[in-house]
Structure 1
Amino acid sequence: MEMVVVAPPASGKLDDLKRRFFATPLQAVISLLSLSVIVFLVWKLLNWAVFSAVFDASGGADACHAASGACWSVIAARWRIIFFGLYPYEEQWRSALACVTVVAMTVLSCIPAFWTGRRIALVWGVGAAVFYVLMKGGFLGLSFVGEEMWGGLALTLFIFVTTCLIGFPLAICLALLRRSELPWISRTTGLIIDGVRSLPLISILFTFAIVLPFALPQWLQGDKLYRVILGSALFFSAYQAEIVRGGMQGVPRGQEEAAMALGLSYWHRISRILLPQAMRNALPATINQFVISFKETSLVVIVGFFEILASGNAAYGTGEWRFAYVEVYAFIAMIYFVFVFSLSRYGAFLERRMSVGER
């Protein structure tokens, strides 16, 4: 006779709440005090940011002085500087469309249907080309706008996209070189990777922006923006190379040996067997590296670029809005939060997707 085991009824949410936070009198007191502090802080924040805040820019800075809350009027009055920097006013639609292009390119990259080398390369290559054409112009009826006029969110996204576009293929090359069977190649590559990783990014940016022109001939120096991007891409590739190499180590050795036994060439083994599985293993860590790289774009302000943080400084830098720096930085922080949180949640989705063996 088959025995049927009846599971005990699960405790309700209220019972679980009592068990977690009100199991003892002391725990109940601590929980209530903590809840009171949280409610108080949330109320103060909402009162400052919403209920007592000033949103209308028509009253100018004088309306903010009379209010007790945040002065969001500075955002309403100066948002163009924050988003577009020094870009010509009549051409700012191009900068806005370029930012939309980057967002669309990122969204497409997150769709599993595009998770092949050719499709990802096509999406990023076309997206970067469209972004560059929109920003710089000079043909297709668009007026020319030099890189010195770029700024705001568009410049931040440009540095991020080009850093990943250059750094990711370079990272794959470094990872493959480091696992080479020739000791002098693998050790030299490992020395380069470890050397770059041992330096802070700001020192690399400073070297590429300021020091490198003294060591290069005039024809090889190029624009400072592109030198900074190359330095950022080198830094990105050193960290991403180790992520890719870790993904390769997660692929069973027997698969590559079986491919060799079947007579597959080196490039077929790498492109058809090793790299697809390695990139799948390294996807969550790769998303995390993208998040870090996006946040690190703010460091280019140190070497004189007018990215979104510098644009924010200019937005409240006039005498009329000088007091509203907290609101400007809070708005910029919210922009960073939207991009970074979206990428982070996507990384969490990838971890859940791979944990159940979906493809």
Structure 2
Amino acid sequence: MAQQPPKPGGGRVFFGSPVNSAVSVTCLLLIGYVFWHVLDWGVMNAVWTDAGGPEACHASSGACWAIINARWRLILFGLYPFDEHWRSGLACVVVVLTAILSCLPVFWQAKRLATLWVCGFAIFYILMRGGMLGLASVPEEKWGGLSLTVFIFASGVLVGMPVAIGLALLRRSTLPVISRTTGAFIDAVRSLPLVSILFTAAVIFPFVLPPGFQGEKLYRVIAGFALFFAVYQAEIIRGGIQSIPVGQDEAAKALGLSYWQRVRMIILPQAFRYALPPTINQIVTTFKETSLVVIVGFFEIMASGNAAYGTGEWTFAYVEVYAFIAMIYFAFVFTLSRYGAYLERVMRVGQQ
């Protein structure tokens, strides 16, 4: 058997020829130049405290992190009452902790996951809404900041995932009426921008629904958010189902398993395994899309950041505010992507 030639190392790839060497050296110098200027602006010459106010930032050539020191409460908590910020912070921690616990294999059962998230959302609602246990009542219109962003994201994914499974199974129905109707519905919703769905849920529905069925605007927006997530995730799950060899379903039929037994024990576990990479990508995209709820009047973390530099004395420091918010988004998105990569390694997705 012929021996495979050794793969070229990194040095031979980047410096194997004069042209490659010139390009590599130029890129390294450019990266070093950008890194040095970012370090000089963001760390060495930056203003870190708000003791001198905006005047200290004007006198410096570096970043004005003083605005974060002065306005971090507004960025993280939005319009939530100042004296009750501890409730909003604790509620956000509860949702994040619930998400972390649900990632542990010990909770990977339907009943345990359902119990965990029901308890997590109940605690979140009690802390944020109040009106019981001696907590002051805070209406949903005053919720904001990071806690609202995390709540909308978690609610949209948790509500949308079962809907996505149902849509994927309906689209694969052997009855043409059901499969084609479901396919038309999925394609129709996917053709709409998320902003239009959120606007319809927040503004249009109150005019067409009876007074007793309107509900709070926040929950209508979450329903629209979940629907948008569900139609995309349904196609991802359907792709995972189509990756399963047909013989497995036929063998399960031969063993006498019912449709729901085949779905629960054979089809869905393998479908989620095959569809894991695009599912993680869709979840990450969904988290970033929560910033669109500002269109319908919610003060999530992006809108809170806009308000933080929107006053006359801090209008020049918008770059620092956006950098701070970007770091928060990066922390959540990077954690989600690394957990997805861990699941791929454990389940050996894409390997023979």
Same fold, judged at TM 0.5 (above)? yes
> Could you list the runs of 5+ residues in structure 2 that have no partner in the other structure?
none
Deviations 1:157-198 (A, max 9, x none): 111111112111111111111111221111111111111111
CA distance, structure 1, for counterparts of residue 3 and residue 207 of structure 2: 79
2:80–2:143 contact (8 Å) kept in structure 1: yes
Q: What is the CA-CA distance between 1:7 and the residue it aligns to?
A: 10
The aligned counterpart of 1:236 is: 229
The aligned counterpart of 1:73 is: 66
The aligned counterpart of 1:34 is: 27
The aligned counterpart of 1:278 is: 271
1:193 counterpart = 2:186: yes
CA distance, structure 2, for counterparts of residue 27 and residue 294 of structure 1: 39
316-325 or 114-123, which deviates more: 114-123
**Residue identity matched to 2:307:** A
The aligned counterpart of 1:315 is: 308
Q: What is the CA-CA distance between 1:357 and the residue it aligns to?
A: 8.9
Structure 2 counterpart of 1:352, from 338, 345, 348: 345
2:76–2:304 contact (8 Å) kept in structure 1: yes
Q: Residue 93 of structure 1 aligns to a residue in which SS?
A: helix
After TM superposition, the score normalised by the length of structure 1 is 0.91
Structure 2 counterpart of 1:167, from 160, 165, 174: 160
The aligned counterpart of 1:108 is: 101
214-223 or 40-49, which deviates more: 214-223
Structure 2 counterpart of 1:85, from 65, 75, 78: 78
- Structure 1 outlier segments of 4+, above 6 Å: 5-8
CA distance, structure 2, for counterparts of residue 261 and residue 26 of structure 1: 63
1:98–1:154 contact (8 Å) kept in structure 2: yes
1:284–1:350 contact (8 Å) kept in structure 2: no
Q: Please tell me the root mean square deviation across aligned C-alpha atoms, in Å.
A: 2.2
Q: What is the CA-CA distance between 1:333 and the residue it aligns to?
A: 0.9
Are residues 178 and 322 of structure 1, via their aligned partners in 2, closer, same or farther at CA, if it must alter by over 3 Å?
A: same
The aligned counterpart of 1:58 is: 51
2:78–2:299 contact (8 Å) kept in structure 1: yes
> Could you list the runs of 5+ residues in structure 1 that have no partner in the other structure?
none
The aligned counterpart of 1:330 is: 323
Q: How does 1:249-288 map to 2 (within 5 A)?
A: 249-288=242-281
CA distance, structure 2, for counterparts of residue 27 and residue 192 of structure 1: 52
2:273–2:349 contact (8 Å) kept in structure 1: no
Q: Residue 54 of structure 1 aligns to a residue in which SS?
A: coil
Q: Residue 238 of structure 2 aligns to a residue in which SS?
A: helix
Deviations 1:99-145 (A, max 9, x none): 11122122223223333333332332222222122111222232211
CA distance, structure 2, for counterparts of residue 239 and residue 46 of structure 1: 40
CA distance, structure 1, for counterparts of residue 141 and residue 173 of structure 2: 42
Identical aligned pairs, as a percentage?
64
After TM superposition, the score normalised by the length of structure 2 is 0.93
1:128–1:161 contact (8 Å) kept in structure 2: no
